Amino acid sequence: MKSSWFIFSIATLTVVSCKSKVCECADAHIKAVKEINKTEDPIKKLKILGKKEYQALFEECNQLTKKMTPEELQSFEAEYEQCPSIREYRKTNPDLPKK
């Protein structure tokens, strides 16, 4: 019970902070998706994903989530969905499936 409360408290504080790591990950994902959606060429799409700027951010996000418990991942996903970049992208792309 204390563990759940602690995780909830941390997640709440993170959401309230200026820019959480979760929202930094969301911003990177949305930026890459927008860039990928501008081209039909699958090779160009792969090159976009291979850019160093994205690779570094994606690796940081992967390292962040790799060590999380299932409960922490759930909190991460809930916060991810509330990030401004995700909410804005979903407004313009309402057909996207929600987690």
Lookup: tokens for 97: 């499936």
**Cα gap 18→65, rounded to integer Å:** 20
pLDDT tens, residue by residue, 61-99: 999 999 999 999 999 999 999 999 999 999 998 776 665
98 by Cβ neighbours in 10 Å (0-12 / 13-18 / 19+) ranks as exposed
At 11-65, the pLDDT tens digits run 554 445 557 999 999 999 999 999 999 999 999 999 998 999 899 999 999 999 9
Return the residue matching tokens 């804005």.
88
Q: Are 86 and 30 in contact (CB under 8 A)?
A: yes
pLDDT band at 5 (very low <50, low <70, confident <90, very high): very low
The verdict on pTM exceeding 0.75 is no
Domain definitions of the chain by residue range? 2-92
